[in-house]
């Protein structure tokens, strides 16, 4: 019955550990998938205590039909009985048809699979991954212009309501 405040607020029992905030800026995000993570004990504890860095995390699909998460940084705990490598390759737990859809997206053209969020759901580490296409420099600039214009319009509307 008792849970952490973050778990109670989310409604689904999710406790957010890390989010890849640069993903929306650098990529056009497509289909999203939830995958389990194969972790060792010190990694799971470190995630609960100190979080992780998803900035450079991406997924590689191998020829045997398995998905591997690369570039995820999980800090090493100071007082762990046994440690782990901060940036080791970790296996993802996905259904075969999900891996086939990811592979089709990657093979189809110019798409990659990136990590967008890491969280605990019902006590198990989960990662949200997404098919994504890299934005070009002019696309990023356009997105910034649109965001700034929307912010200015919202501020102007607030000023009109107040005044």
The residue with greater pLDDT, 21 or 3, is: 21
Q: What are phi and psi of 112, to 5 degrees?
A: -135, 170
For residue 140, what pLDDT is reported? 72
Mean pLDDT, residues 140-144 taken together = 79
In contact, 154 and 160? CB cutoff 8 Å: no
| Percent of the chain's residues with pLDDT above 70 | 89
In contact, 132 and 30? CB cutoff 8 Å: yes
pLDDT in tens, 59-71: 999 999 999 999 9
Domain boundaries, the chain: 5-135
State the Cα–Cα distance between residues 24 and 135, nearest whole angstrom: 9
Ramachandran area for residue 122 (φ above 0: left; ψ -120 to 50: alpha; else beta): left
pLDDT in tens, 88-106: 899 999 999 999 999 999 9
Q: What is the pTM of this model?
A: 0.74
For residue 9, what pLDDT is reported? 42
Q: How far is CA 103 from the centre of its chain?
A: 18
Fold of 5-135: Small Protein B; Chain: A; (2.40.280)
């Amino acid at each position: 019955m008792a849970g952490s405040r973050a778990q109670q607020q989310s409604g689904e029992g999710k406790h957010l550990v890390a989010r890849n905030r640069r993903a929306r800026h650098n990529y056009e995000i497509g289909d999203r998938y939830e995958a389990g993570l194969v972790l060792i004990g010190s990694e799971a504890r470190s995630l609960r205590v100190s979080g992780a860095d998803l900035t450079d995390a991406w997924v590689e699909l191998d020829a045997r039909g398995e998905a591997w998460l690369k570039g995820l940084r999980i800090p090493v705990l100071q007082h762990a009985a046994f440690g782990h490598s901060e940036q080791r390759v970790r296996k993802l737990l996905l259904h075969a048809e999900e891996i086939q859809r990811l592979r089709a997206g990657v093979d189809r053209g110019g798409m990659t699979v990136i990590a967008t969020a890491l969280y605990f759901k019902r006590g198990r580490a989960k990662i949200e991954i997404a098919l994504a296409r890299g934005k070009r420099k002019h696309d990023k600039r356009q997105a910034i212009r649109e965001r700034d214009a929307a912010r200015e319009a919202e501020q102007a509307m607030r000023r009109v309501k107040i005044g």
